[in-house]
Amino acid sequence: MSPKVGIAPVRRRQIVDATIRCLARDGYSHLTMNKVARRARVSQGILHYYFADKHAILVAAMQRVMEDLERRVVQEARGIHDPRRRLRALIHACLSVATEAREFWVVFVEFWGEMMHDRALMEINADLYTRERRLIGRIVTRGVRSGLFRRVRPEQAGGIILALVDGLSLQLTFDSKAFSLAEASRFCEEAIFRYLAKK
Amino acid sequence: MSPKVGIAPVRRRQIVDATIRCLARDGYSHLTMNKVARRARVSQGILHYYFADKHAILVAAMQRVMEDLERRVVQEARGIHDPRRRLRALIHACLSVATEAREFWVVFVEFWGEMMHDRALMEINADLYTRERRLIGRIVTRGVRSGLFRRVRPEQAGGIILALVDGLSLQLTFDSKAFSLAEASRFCEEAIFRYLAKK
Amino acid sequence: MSPKVGIAPVRRRQIVDATIRCLARDGYSHLTMNKVARRARVSQGILHYYFADKHAILVAAMQRVMEDLERRVVQEARGIHDPRRRLRALIHACLSVATEAREFWVVFVEFWGEMMHDRALMEINADLYTRERRLIGRIVTRGVRSGLFRRVRPEQAGGIILALVDGLSLQLTFDSKAFSLAEASRFCEEAIFRYLAKK
Amino acid sequence: MSPKVGIAPVRRRQIVDATIRCLARDGYSHLTMNKVARRARVSQGILHYYFADKHAILVAAMQRVMEDLERRVVQEARGIHDPRRRLRALIHACLSVATEAREFWVVFVEFWGEMMHDRALMEINADLYTRERRLIGRIVTRGVRSGLFRRVRPEQAGGIILALVDGLSLQLTFDSKAFSLAEASRFCEEAIFRYLAKK
DNA sequence: CATGAATGAGATTTCATTCAT
DNA sequence: GATGAATGAAATCTCATTCAT
């Protein structure tokens, strides 16, 4: 790999990262190409050299955000064999996103609004959610097999758990006085383990 | 009531309604004063006669959306005495918002993104969520008193149920192939009743 | 005089006064019909009932300002027989406008800028200046006749004295640290009496 | 000098010059960004590329006008050693501004009105006036030293002479029938030399 | 590759004026 | 006489995109 090869990916990454930071800081409706360029420390013109238009940058940014969120969750649950502990780790990873990786979480929520009117963005998200439901589903399946959890349909359980985690993250974010991250984690675990309990 | 009295509220409502329809149709980032005026069948100038600026219209629109969503939920649960059936009605009301009152639900989600950068909007939402947690909490409390549910802290249960409903609504909206409204309702009820079950 | 007769002049005056106060407070470029109406405590529509348009109000306002300034100067010099003392009174009246009748003076200066592009306003001002040069000229003539001043052409002296007073008022207004009203008066009197001195 | 260096100053100058010409032609209250852009033969958008907003352009325009007026006066008096003749040249330079550099003079007067409500503009003007009083003061001081003029305080004399010149310029501008430039010059010189005469 | 100057369409906002009541 | 709702033109300002260098 000669050093020349890699300049394009570097620039793209630079631009996408700057976009995410802009979105996190000022919000979707205040995002301008100029701000992105300044934050990426490049000229305005270069943005259009690496991306067709603003929308293309947004799609790339959404993809990055999704990848990052997914990676976090996957990593957190990795290497843990006990299904209960693994689920607990996963819940904690998801909920802590809203507080510790706030930058990514905020941008994620902003994209929800845009997705409603943008098929490209919506599909990226639908794919992520399918993968996440399956990821959770696999953990649940193991728990079922090892006799820890009652028989449930894995993807259904995945949907329920994902929903609970998203909904609590929302409340953590925009209604921070309601409960703390620690409380949310506890409530969430309790609800999920009752949901999966054998009797 | 002379005919002159109350023209202002009518116009305001007209404008706010048009705004919500615009948001539902084109999305937050494509909202323009021009479109709002056309949809409300008024001149552009009049928008600034009744509202200080675009932001003021958005705040009013968010308030309307919140009120509408709340009213729906409250109405649906009204008059039902059995805590189980009441909770079921409430869950159904919430989830069907995402499909049947899609217009309001879409706008609601769009505001989430904006709220992150707009304290005024965030507080309106936080207030709504507090009221909803309490509403659910009261139903749960009755169920506890009548021996149907285990002892839980009402607001915590409210938070859990609200989160589940929000999260499932999201998946219903942007990942419609995952499950239907009927399925979502069933999963949700099951999860909640297991959460509240005495043993 | 039945009470009915006088409503129009009252309203006109009300509006013109409000205009002058608006001009004094916010400046020519920030003058709006709405502000005038609010300050006059009348509706916007009424302004166009009593005046053809905004320009007509401005012309009326300029006339009021001119009349007021002239009246002040004439009154101050009235009843004093000694030409020196009379001139001194007049100078003081003119200079104190810039500090004590600041409202009128500020508006007067604002009109200078507009006059350059508005024949109607310019003529009103030219007339005032002619009258003032003559007023001063008459005082000077008396002084010449009584042997106090050297022979000068009255209108020329009027022009010189008026110019000095205007120029010093300007410096008093926008360069207030340069000298005080008292100093300006002293300098001005000295300059004028030297100008009129016999040898 | 590579061709790229210094395009910004050129554009800025271009815009400021166009602004001054617009102000001279149509007046402050009729100044629009559109007119400025057309007169500068640039697009409207570029105005905001080089200046933050309309006010910033106005401040720059005022500065240009002040510099130009000052330069004229300084140049006219340069190289003349005799204090009398130098003062005469300076008076002539000032008064002829109102007729020969009418464009700048008109804009200057327009700014007086705005200055009353704009600290930034007022300070630019106050600085100019201080410099001019000192400039005149230095000439007067020389005349005093060489025994031509009586002992006067230089800045006070500067204020008086500046006032006289401003006031006469005003009358020349908006009351052109009163006297000609030549007459005004003569009157002014006479008044000033009498003011400075030893006995 | 990279820049930043330049554009032009379109956004929000302002405001004098009109008009039905 | 008087109101204030309504209009529409035009103002300022923003910004994605293009392009010569």
Q: What angle do CA B19, A167, A104 make, to 5 degrees?
A: 80
Q: What mean pLDDT comes out for the span C23-32?
A: 96
| Residues A177 and B186: beta-carbon distance below 8 Å | no
CA atoms within 13 A on the CB side of B138: 11
Average pLDDT of chain C to the nearest whole number: 93
Q: What mean pLDDT comes out for the span A123-132?
A: 94
Residue B161 has pLDDT above 60, yes or no: yes
Question: What letters, b where the CB count within 10 A reaches 16 and e where it falls short, cover D142-167?
Answer: bbbeeebbeebebbbbbbbbbbbbbb
Residues in chain D with CB shorter than 8 Å from the CB of C114 are 27-29, 113
What are all long-range contacts of C51-55, with beta carbons under 8 Å and residues at least 24 apart?
C51/C12, C51/C15
**Quick one: what percent of chain C has pLDDT higher than 90?**
86
Tokens of A93: 């990873």
Name every residue whose Cβ is closer than 8 Å to that of residue C25 and which is 6 or more positions away in sequence: none
Tokens of C38: 């609010």
Residue B2 has pLDDT above 60, yes or no: no
Task: Tell whether the torsion through CA atoms of B175, B179, B180 and B181 is positive or negative.
Answer: negative
- The predicted pLDDT at position B1 comes to 37
A27 in the Ramachandran plot: left (φ > 0), alpha (ψ -120 to 50) or beta? left
Q: What mean pLDDT comes out for the span A166-180?
A: 91
Residue A140 has pLDDT above 90, yes or no: yes
Tokens of D164: 């006289």
Surface-to-core class of residue A196, CB atoms within 10 Å of its CB (0-12 exposed, 13-18 middle, 19+ buried): buried
Reported as a single tens digit per residue, the pLDDT across C40-69 is 999 999 999 999 999 999 999 999 999 999
CA separation, residue A176 to residues A24, A179, A183, A184, A192 (Å): 18, 6, 12, 11, 22
Tokens of B73: 């939920």
- The predicted pLDDT at position D76 comes to 87
Reported as a single tens digit per residue, the pLDDT across A67-112 is 999 999 888 888 898 999 999 999 999 999 988 888 899 999 999 9
Question: What letters, b where the CB count within 10 A reaches 16 and e where it falls short, cover D84-110?
Answer: bebbbbbbbbbbbbbeebebbbbbbbb
Spatial separation of the C-alpha atoms in residues B29 and B38, rounded to whole Å: 17
Spatial separation of the C-alpha atoms in residues C193 and C196, rounded to whole Å: 5
- Of the pLDDT bands very low, low, confident and very high (cuts 50, 70, 90), residue B76 is confident
Tell me which nucleotides of strand E come within 7 A of a protein CB: 1-21
Residue D40 has pLDDT above 80, yes or no: yes
Residue B169 has pLDDT above 90, yes or no: yes
| D12 CA → E4 C1’, Å | 16
Residue A5 has pLDDT above 80, yes or no: no
CA nearest A25: which of D103, B116, B7, C83?
A: B116
Looking at the C1' of nucleotide E11, which residue has the nearest alpha carbon? B32
Name every residue whose Cβ is closer than 8 Å to that of residue D137 and which is 6 or more positions away in sequence: D154, D155, D157, D158
| Residues A178 and B159: beta-carbon distance below 8 Å | yes
Check whether residue A48 has its CB closer than 7 Å to nucleic acid strand F: yes
Task: Tell whether the torsion through CA atoms of D101, D104, D110 and D113 is positive or negative.
Answer: negative
DSSP B78: T
| Residues D55 and C145: beta-carbon distance below 8 Å | no
Check whether residue A49 has its CB closer than 7 Å to nucleic acid strand E: yes
State CA A58 to chain mean position distance. 15
Q: What mean pLDDT comes out for the span D102-121?
A: 94
Which nucleotide is at minimal CA–C1' distance from D46? E6
Reported as a single tens digit per residue, the pLDDT across A11-35 is 999 999 999 999 999 999 999 999 9
Reported as a single tens digit per residue, the pLDDT across D141-191 is 999 999 999 999 999 999 999 999 999 999 999 888 889 999 999 999 999
CA separation, residue C105 to residues A147, B44, C54, C71 (Å): 93, 39, 21, 13
Which architecture, in CATH terms, is B7-196? Answer: Orthogonal Bundle (1.10)
- The predicted pLDDT at position C5 comes to 61
| Residues B85 and B43: beta-carbon distance below 8 Å | no
Tell me which nucleotides of strand F come within 7 A of a protein CB: 1-21
Q: What angle do CA C95, C168, C181 make, to 5 degrees?
A: 50
* Spans of all domains in chain A: 7-196
Q: What letter represents residue C119's amino acid? A: R
CA nearest D105: which of D186, D170, D37, D47?
A: D170
Residues 90-129 of chain B with CB under 7 A from strand F are none
| Residues D47 and D36: beta-carbon distance below 8 Å | yes
What are all long-range contacts of C92-99, with beta carbons under 8 Å and residues at least 24 apart?
C92/C185, C94/C165, C94/C166, C94/C169, C95/C165, C95/C168, C95/C169, C95/C172, C95/C181, C95/C184, C95/C185, C95/C188, C96/C181, C97/C69, C97/C72, C97/C169, C98/C169, C98/C170, C98/C172, C98/C173, C98/C181, C99/C172, C99/C181
DSSP B176: T
Reported as a single tens digit per residue, the pLDDT across C135-157 is 999 999 999 999 999 999 999 99
**CB contact, 8 Å: C6 with chain D?**
no
- This prediction has a pTM of 0.92
Looking at the C1' of nucleotide F11, which residue has the nearest alpha carbon? D32
Weakest-pLDDT range from A4-8, B76-80, D2-6 = D2-6
- Of the pLDDT bands very low, low, confident and very high (cuts 50, 70, 90), residue B129 is very high
Residue D1 has pLDDT above 50, yes or no: no
- The predicted pLDDT at position B5 comes to 57
Name every residue whose Cβ is closer than 8 Å to that of residue B82 and which is 6 or more positions away in sequence: none
| Residues C152 and C93: beta-carbon distance below 8 Å | no
Residues 155-194 of B with CB under 8 A from A: 155-156, 159-160, 162-168, 170-171, 173-175, 177-179, 183-184, 187-188, 190-191, 194
Of A113, A114, A178, the CB nearest to B159: A178
Report the chain A residue with the minimal C-alpha distance to residue B120: A174
Q: What mean pLDDT comes out for the span A123-133?
A: 94
State yes or no: chains A and C have 3 or more CB pairs below 8 A.
no
CA nearest B53: which of B39, B36, B30?
A: B36
Spatial separation of the C-alpha atoms in residues B59 and D106, rounded to whole Å: 47
In SS3 terms, chain A reads as CCCCCCHHHHHHHHHHHHHHHHHHHHCHHHCCHHHHHHHHCCCHHHHHHHCCCHHHHHHHHHHHHHHHHHHHHHHHHCCCCCHHHHHHHHHHHHHHHHHHCHHHHHHHHHHHHHHCCCHHHHHHHHHHHHHHHHHHHHHHHHHHHCCCCCCCCHHHHHHHHHHHHHHHHHHHHHCCCCCCHHHHHHHHHHHHHHHHCCC
| Residues C47 and C33: beta-carbon distance below 8 Å | yes
**Quick one: what percent of chain B has pLDDT higher than 90?**
84
Residues 56-95 of B with CB under 8 A from A: none
Residue A4 has pLDDT above 70, yes or no: no
| Residues A77 and A139: beta-carbon distance below 8 Å | yes
Residues in chain D with CB shorter than 8 Å from the CB of C165 are 167
Q: What mean pLDDT comes out for the span B11-23?
A: 97
| Residues D47 and D129: beta-carbon distance below 8 Å | no
Looking at the C1' of nucleotide F9, which residue has the nearest alpha carbon? B45
- The predicted pLDDT at position D5 comes to 58
First-to-last C-alpha distance (Å) of chain D: 59
Residue C8 has pLDDT above 70, yes or no: yes
**Quick one: what percent of chain C has pLDDT higher than 70?**
97
Residues in chain C with CB shorter than 8 Å from the CB of D61 are none
Q: What mean pLDDT comes out for the span A108-122?
A: 94
